[in-house]
Amino acid sequence: MTATAWIEIAAYFAVLLALVKPLGWFMARVYAGEPCGLDAPLKPLERGLYRIAGVKPEAEMTWRQYAIAVLLFNALGALAVYGLQRAQGWLPLNPQHLPGVAPDLAFNTAVSFATNTNWQAYSGESTLSDLSQMLGLAVQNFLSAATGMAVLVALIRGITRKQVETIGNFWVDVTRSTLFILLPLSFVLAVALVSQGVVQSFAATVEVPLAVPQTGPDGQPVTMQSIPLGPAASQIAIKQLGTNGGGFFGVNSAHPLENPTPLSNFLQVLAILLIPAALCYTFGDLVGDKRQGWAILAAMLLIFVPLTLGCVLAEQAGNPRLTALGVDPGAGNMEGKEVRLGVGASALWAGATTAASNGSVNSMHDSYTPLGGLVPMWLMQLGEVVFGGVGSGLYGMLVFAIVAVFIAGLMVGRTPEYLGKKIEAREMKLASLVILIPPMVVLGGTAVALSLEAGRASITNPGPHGLSQVLYAFSSAGNNNGSAFAGLGVNTLFYNLMLGFAMLLSRFWLIVPVLAIAGALARKKGIPVSAGTLPTHTPLFVVMLAGIVVLVGALTFVPALALGPIVEHLQLHAGR
């Protein structure tokens, strides 16, 4: 690995970790209802929103009421995005006069953005109007992210409260997440990105002369190129901060109008993990023991850092077939990567975007080496708990923590406890659902797609790489990530429907059990710490938690990975 790559990765982790405490402290104050520095301008607006919506912020909800509010809120959001896409041909802010989106694609896109997945089976600049991008997709980027953060806060309340039935008010939690956290951070990042040249405009497509004239399909000379513009910077900011990931342009953050400079690249990949990492500190602050938050963050880093470095090293090693031909000798595997970014920045982004449920890309994962492509695929398959989505990654990791203390309790013959609450049969059944549903969706969907002609017809590469393409697509949808290998044709009726249902199941079939766990824990009485209590802030627990996450992922997906990227790796190096 080059010295530049080492410096870039070291700087990335240094800045990320330096921001964890201040941002985590700020978010803890927001959710605790304490002064946070933005009260003067935003508190009146918050109260006004409650009055308009008829919300009583002091009225709390049981876990069932909270779950119903989450489901209704997101269902209405999905319906709004679907209707907007279908009607965009008759609506304003459509400078390219794009027609309405087909029903199956509109369904897939609406579900994708409502579930914080942002899977895209289309190119944004040639499919969606400025109005659809702003009013539909960008708004859902905020609200789907705020939903995950609200569910996390509800779970934390379930852990900290004793012998009560309520876990907070969803409308208050989602409003505070949006108004006090996501909007200010997105405004700052959007301004920074505009300063770097990211486009933010309502101008229509512009025509520019080509430096070197080309020959068109009809044999006629082509001297001009059409460059679409639009309000990209505002959507890019929240797509990264909210771990959404949907690109304004088809090639996402590899596009020079989305990601023009090394600084814009650094800011965007930093934004991907910023809130998920800082929420670990928020968790520790809200439960009254900051060591708990640092322990969860350490477990995430213990998995993320080695895998990301492995991806960088795999790509830096290059493709032996291309090296034998004298293509980019010593430069690493540059296929599908921007020359201005290089291997290090591309592979770091691939690790960050799939560790978080972000899904944006600055390179084509389909062109990675087999082992380089295995890393982002497996990071998703771990359940998107290694940072994961804003809120959703941490509540997923807390579910694994519950499983970890349960296993530890069985090993020593004691009733398992986590942060002063007994973990009993009900919590373990619900935790099992949270852990098992995504693999069922991923492996089941992949099996169906490979068994039907409609699923096989879109595979562009036969053999193990074709299997990897389908497995990656369902791993992305089934874990609400949204990234793609980009080699599988997915804008078909089959994949739009299959992946759409996969996204729905993996988002809301997890949220409901998590809220049920929160309700069950809130009703329990607290248990004082004793000599037999397993400490959950020690290096031993950190290693145990990380080990359980990796072990579950390995037992579930290694057989499928062996048939895809591992076989492809062996074939690639055969005969050397």
**543, 380 contact by CB (below 8 A):** no
DSSP of 375-396:
HHHHHHHTTS-SS-STTHHHHH
Distance CA 442, CA 293 (A): 30
| Structural domain harbouring 44 | 3-209+224-572
DSSP of 231-268:
BHHHHHHHHHHTT----SSTTGGGSTTTS-SHHHHHHH
- Output 205-213 pairs: Cβ under 8 A, ≥24 positions apart: 205/95, 205/96, 205/229
Confidence of residue 29 (pLDDT cuts 50, 70, 90): very high
Residue 214 domain-assigned? no
Q: If you average pLDDT over every residue of the chain, what do you get?
A: 92
User: How many CB atoms neighbour CB 214 within 10 A?
Assistant: 9
Summarised one tens digit per residue, pLDDT across range 385-425 is 999 999 999 999 999 999 999 998 888 777 789 999 999 99
Residue 361 domain-assigned? yes
Q: Please give the average per-residue pLDDT across 552-567, as a whole number.
A: 91
Summarised one tens digit per residue, pLDDT across range 227-261 is 888 888 999 999 999 999 888 888 889 988 999 99
Residue 474 domain-assigned? yes
pLDDT of 135 reads 92
pLDDT of 1 reads 63
Confidence of residue 330 (pLDDT cuts 50, 70, 90): low
Residue 217 domain-assigned? no
90-94, 124-128, 373-377, 398-402: least confidently modelled range: 124-128
Q: Dihedral of CA 377/382/383/387: which sign?
A: negative
Residue 218 domain-assigned? no
Between vectors from CA 353 to CA 547 and to CA 24, what angle results, nearest 5°? 75
Structure tokens that stand for 477 in this block = 């949808």
Structure tokens that stand for 141 in this block = 């980027």
Q: Say if residue 329's pLDDT is above 70.
A: no
Quick check: helix, strand or coil at residue 130? helix
Distance CA 533, CA 536 (A): 9
Number of domains composing the chain:
1
Q: Reduce the secondary structure of 456-523 to three states and give it as a string.
A: HCCECCCCHHHHHHHHHHHHHHCCCCCCCCCCECCCCHHHHHHHHHHHHHHHHHHHHHHHHHHHHHHH
Strand partners, 225: 208
Q: What separation, in Å, do the N-terminal and C-terminal C-alpha atoms of the chain show?
A: 22
Residue 400 domain-assigned? yes
Residue 216 domain-assigned? no
What single-letter DSSP state applies at residue 209?
E
Distance CA 571, CA 558 (A): 18
Residue 375 domain-assigned? yes
Query: Would strands 421-422 and 417-418 be described as parallel, antiparallel, or unpaired?
Result: antiparallel
pLDDT of 245 reads 85
